[in-house]
A and B are shown apart, each in its own frame.
Chain A
Amino acid sequence: MNSPSTILYFTSSFPDHKTLYGFIEKVDPEVVKYVEVGFPSSDPRYDGPEIRETHEIAEKNFHNGHLEQYAEILGKKGVRTYLLTYYRDLARQSSDFIPHLGDSGFSGVIVPDLLVDYSSIAADVIGEIQDSIDFIPFFNPATPDGVIERISGMTESWIYYGLQPATGIHIPYDLEEVSRRILDLLPGREVNFGFGIRSMDQIGKIMDLGSKGVAIGTLLVPMVRENRLQDFVALQRQIGEVQDHVKG
């Protein structure tokens, strides 16, 4: 039986470290399998307006030490932590940044612009990351079949599949067709879906179709911004109910 899980996305240090830390503390390991932490970027180009705004604020508050603290607390709960970073920002870090992430408890890295803007060096970057931690391939409907097959073959981790060209927007698509495509291309591989997922109904449908998990980001932004912790707890409970329903 399918055992779907949930992935939460938070931009590091948004709206400030203390507030976000409070949310991380409330992550429910019964519902949430992974947490993606966004590395603040001055050009989060493939994110939608709401997430872009979080980067703008987070950049001012960010400290590398915050990442370690998030990973530590999530690790104690048994929830895996992944860093989502644009390659442009990753390339500016020191050479021990990735190994240090691994030492700090991060399980892997997601780099949404690597295959789009840096395809000629992607293989080398993936190899370098995988010397320390997992590289999570990020694909979307615009990723050619050949690229999906090639990059998946270089990795053994789960796959992140974006349903939309950017987060938090609503381009019409046929959910069944879109999810079937990637599940058929990569049979047996753990595929988690994200980008533009906003309702419980959508989450349920995606899980029903055979996705191992669903990533939620934009939906959380107002809650975190306004420090609505109780709403966050309630949301996780609702998602848990959807997961239980799908598990049957």
Chain B
Amino acid sequence: MFKYYTMMVDYMLSTQKNDLIPEKWYNVVPDLPEQLPPPLDNEKNKSSIELLNSILPREVLKQEFTFQRFLKIPDEVREIYEQTGRPTPLVRARGLEKYLDYSGKILYKYEGATITGSHKINTAVPQAIYAANEGVEKVVTETGAGQWGTATSVAASFAGIKAKVFMVRISYQQKPLRKKIMQLYGGEVSPSPSDETEFGRSMLKQNPDHPGSLGIGIGEAVEYALDHNLRYLVGSVFNSVLTHQSIIGLETEKQLEIMGTEPDVLIGCVGGGSNFGGFSFPLMKKFKDVEVIASTAAEVPKFTKGEYKYDYVDTARILPSVKMFSLGADFMPEKIYAGGLRYHGAAPSLSMLVNTGRIKTVDENQESVIDALKIFSRTQGIVAAPESGHAIATAIDYIRRHKDEKKTVVVNVSGHGLLDMSIFRDEQ
């Protein structure tokens, strides 16, 4: 066994590490058990699907509807992936195993090791490159907690273009450091709702102190992109984003192979579903019987209390509706630390696999998440993001309930939480 870890370290430290970065992304759509319900127009006499042509980079749109199982990662994207810290490590959590007195294996894929501290950079880079290759000078997006806006800002900077980010107003006020990082990367940040779009102005008219929401931010960013002929970058939910994020699972697959280990259980957290899908889908293809668990916030119980139905992606109802588990586009979640999990829906492919029962789901409340984050920081030295804390909490609970089964549990830790320390404000 020691030999495998020596090999692993060699891979991580030598130039061979690039061999772990896959040459192709994986698209789950052709391997789904049922046909993925297509997006629907929201209005009878207008095509919001057609509208995507005006706002998404052409290549992203093509990838959104492709049947291709594997899509080549452009060389320039692979080169930037290397600059962003890929491959990210797959680490055996020996400290946690010891703490839980577990005789099986716990492994975690650490996306917090990227330059922006989360998985979001994996899709921001190709989207920004595709946009720049089309000749646009600026991309626009929204951000909730700030991770996606950060990734977009730096990806745009790498691509030699500008980024405009509509940041949910409450986060804009409460997370000044996030705003600063985006600005440092060259991003232009506006609080949302803003007075820069018609939709934002209508929200501010209703409530001048509107705290904003991710759905409103999406609406503003899309309107801004349309009005200024820019390209809109998508942070989650869309198939193309999950395809880009498959780099997480594909790397993990190679790393497991080097370790000589096969996973029994995969666990990740779900906001819109991109880190979870990107991590689990390639591994589900390889390991047909692997148990897969999606961990969501109890305060946003989309899988347990939501409905599998066509629903709006954004509050402004500009983008096409998709079939997904949803709490309703107007759902206003409680203020929880895991801002990335506050979205009302989940990616269609993931929703389908939950609906068919292939993927199980667990809701974690904030209290158990804080406990899990503390345990993880003390046993592994990693301060994980509050979103990732859900996956860790689910893993700890799973291991406690299956203590004698000696399973190999692989957890995706989607980001670090070094900019979310306020979660521990009341902790001793």
A175 CB, min distance to chain B CBs, angstroms: 12
Given A141-B65, A173-B65, A177-B68: A166 and B49 interface contact (C-beta under 8 Å): yes
CA A164 to CA B320, docked complex, whole Å: 15
Which of B32-40, B269-277, B389-397 lies on the face that meets chain A? Answer: B32-40
* Residues on A with beta carbons closer than 8 Å to the beta carbon of B39: 165
Q: For residue A113, which residue of chain B has the nearest CB?
A: B37
Is B5 on the interface with A (CB-CB < 8 A)? no
CA A45 to CA B40, docked complex, whole Å: 7
CA A172 to CA B41, docked complex, whole Å: 18
Is A169 on the interface with B (CB-CB < 8 A)? yes
Which residues between 364 and 398 of chain B lie within 8 Å of chain A, taking CB atoms?
A: none
CA A144 to CA B67, docked complex, whole Å: 8
Tell which of A117, A141, A168 has the most Cβ of chain B within 10 Å.
A141
Q: Are A145 and B30 in contact (CB under 8 A)?
A: yes
Q: Are B53 and A170 in contact (CB under 8 A)?
A: yes
* Residues on B with beta carbons closer than 8 Å to the beta carbon of A181: 67
CA A181 to CA B29, docked complex, whole Å: 14
Is B285 on the interface with A (CB-CB < 8 A)? no
**Chain B window 50-71, contacts with chain A (Cβ cutoff 8 Å), 1 for yes, 0 for no:** 1011000010011011111000
Is B45 on the interface with A (CB-CB < 8 A)? yes
Is B76 on the interface with A (CB-CB < 8 A)? no
Q: Are A172 and B58 in contact (CB under 8 A)?
A: yes
Q: For residue A48, which residue of chain B has the nearest CB?
A: B47
Out of B33, B36, B40, which one reaches A146, CB within 8 Å? B33
Q: Are A142 and B62 in contact (CB under 8 A)?
A: no
**Chain A window 164-187, contacts with chain B (Cβ cutoff 8 Å), 1 for yes, 0 for no:** 111011111110011001000000
Which residues between 27 and 58 of chain A lie within 8 Å of chain B, taking CB atoms?
A: 45-46, 48-49, 52-53, 56
Q: Are A170 and B37 in contact (CB under 8 A)?
A: no
CA A55 to CA B33, docked complex, whole Å: 31
Is B23 on the interface with A (CB-CB < 8 A)? no
Q: Are B62 and A171 in contact (CB under 8 A)?
A: yes
CA A14 to CA B49, docked complex, whole Å: 25
Out of A166, A168, A174, A177, which one reaches B38, CB within 8 Å? A166
Is A119 on the interface with B (CB-CB < 8 A)? yes
Is B198 on the interface with A (CB-CB < 8 A)? no
Q: Are A142 and B29 in contact (CB under 8 A)?
A: yes
Given A49-B44, A171-B62: A147 and B49 interface contact (C-beta under 8 Å): no
CA A117 to CA B352, docked complex, whole Å: 12
Secondary structure at chain B's binding surface: helix, strand, loop or mixed? loop
Q: Are B67 and A165 in contact (CB under 8 A)?
A: no
Compute the total of residue contacts between A and B using a CB distance below 8 Å: 87
Q: Are B67 and A142 in contact (CB under 8 A)?
A: yes
Q: Are B45 and A142 in contact (CB under 8 A)?
A: no
A122 CB, min distance to chain B CBs, angstroms: 9
Out of A56, A115, A173, which one reaches B35, CB within 8 Å? A115
A181 CB, min distance to chain B CBs, angstroms: 6
Q: Are B33 and A142 in contact (CB under 8 A)?
A: no
Q: Are B41 and A165 in contact (CB under 8 A)?
A: no
Is B31 on the interface with A (CB-CB < 8 A)? yes
* Residues on A with beta carbons closer than 8 Å to the beta carbon of B50: 48, 169-170
Q: Are B35 and A169 in contact (CB under 8 A)?
A: no
CA A118 to CA B194, docked complex, whole Å: 43
Q: Are B49 and A144 in contact (CB under 8 A)?
A: no
B172 CB, min distance to chain A CBs, angstroms: 34
Out of A49, A119, A143, which one reaches B41, CB within 8 Å? A49
Is B98 on the interface with A (CB-CB < 8 A)? no
Q: Are A169 and B67 in contact (CB under 8 A)?
A: no
CA A168 to CA B50, docked complex, whole Å: 9
Known: A48-B50, A140-B38. 17 other contacts (CB 8 A): A46-B40, A52-B44, A116-B36, A116-B38, A117-B37, A142-B65, A143-B35, A144-B29, A144-B34, A144-B36, A147-B33, A147-B34, A166-B47, A169-B49, A171-B53, A172-B61, A173-B62
Which are the 10 A-B pairs with shortest beta-carbon distances? A141-B67, A165-B38, A169-B50, A142-B36, A119-B34, A172-B62, A144-B32, A143-B35, A115-B35, A116-B37
16 chain-A/chain-B pairs, Cβ below 8 angstroms = A48-B41, A48-B49, A49-B46, A49-B47, A53-B44, A115-B34, A116-B35, A144-B29, A144-B35, A145-B31, A169-B47, A169-B50, A171-B49, A171-B52, A172-B53, A172-B58
